[in-house]
Amino acid sequence: MAIFHQRNRLHRSLAPETGSLFGSTRETSPHRLALLRLANIGCGATVHPAWDNYDLVPAVPGVRQIDLLRPLPFPVAHYDAIYCSHVLEHIPRQRVAGVLGEFRRALRDGGILRVVVPDLEVIAELYLRELRAALGGDRSAEQRHEWMCMELLDQLTRVFPGGFMGRLLACRPLGSRQFVESRIGQEGRTWLEAADQSPSIGPESVYLVSDTPEKDEARFRRSGEIHRWMYDQLSLGRLLSEAGFDQTRVCKPDESAIRGFSGFLLDTDETGAVRKPDSLFMEATTSSDSAAVLTGG
């Protein structure tokens, strides 16, 4: 979500999970899980020792540096599963197909790609819901509408760190705070609690900022904070299929074909709360047939 660039570092044990493409997991042991090669790409600070954790700028010890705009430094069919959360939206749209193709190359036959992105479909639906409610006279919906405008537009158009979303979150009082918290999850609530102890601004000051000099704006927009595109289940599913993936499907946050996934606490925390409630969760698998298509075999 938006201004939160690093996720909480995790130090949790593995937990069993059923319904895996890698076989029954009713008695998933750390030893059996260690047999899997797992890559967490674009991890921020949300890491797990059972995974190889990668990011462009490592945020915590043990994370390896990787640039998704270059060929991945992995052998063919190296990983059993790749997890990539809130990364694709930061990549130029014309480069995403190549990135997904590299993920496909790095996965073994039957391997799983799990991709998490902000859910454009739900964001648009909530925007329209709150717009119509506000036009119908619901004054509280006006504040929810403003937040949904932030989710739709701010990180696509942002020209300074944190953007207008960051300034809105620093407002006290923060209108429709419960609604905002339901959208940003525990990660965002932690940020809000810290902001409660810091100097605040009034709602009338959110958009009162000086123009950003052109060279500073250009430098900022290359920093990686902005969104380059947004996806829904149709557009992301089509990209996955075009990259050679099969069995593309939408998942729940705690549902996965990756053995023991919920126990890694990447998309949910130890209480079961969703880390990024604004997200679309999708998985797809590889097959020898799709690999033959990609290689011309």
pLDDT higher than 90, residue 289: no
Domain that holds residue 133: 122-221
Q: DSSP for 197-219, please give it.
A: TS--B-GGGTT--PPPPHHHHHH
Q: Is 7 a member of any domain? A: no
For residue range 109-162, list pLDDT tens digits in order: 999 999 999 999 999 999 999 999 999 999 999 999 999 999 999 999 999 999
Domain count, the chain: 2
CATH number, domain containing residue 255: 3.40.50.150
pLDDT higher than 80, residue 291: no
Q: Is 275 a member of any domain? A: yes
For residue range 40-64, list pLDDT tens digits in order: 999 999 999 999 999 999 999 999 9
Same domain, residue pair 242 and 104: yes
Banded pLDDT at 179 (limits 50, 70, 90):
very high
What's the chain's average pLDDT? 87
Lowest average pLDDT, out of 7-16, 102-111, 143-152, 156-165, goes to: 7-16
> Chain-centre distance of CA 220, in angstroms?
21
The predicted structure's pLDDT at residue 288:
62
- Please state the φ and ψ torsions of residue 231, each to the nearest 5 degrees: -135, 150
Q: Give the domain-ending residue among 197, 221, 245.
A: 221
Which residues are registered as beta bridge partners of 250?
Answer: 282
Same domain, residue pair 75 and 100: yes
Q: Which of 7-11, 18-22, 25-29, 223-227 has the highest mean pLDDT?
A: 223-227
State mean pLDDT over 89-104.
Answer: 98
Same domain, residue pair 189 and 158: yes
For residue range 190-219, list pLDDT tens digits in order: 889 988 998 899 999 999 999 999 999 999
Q: Is 89 a member of any domain? A: yes
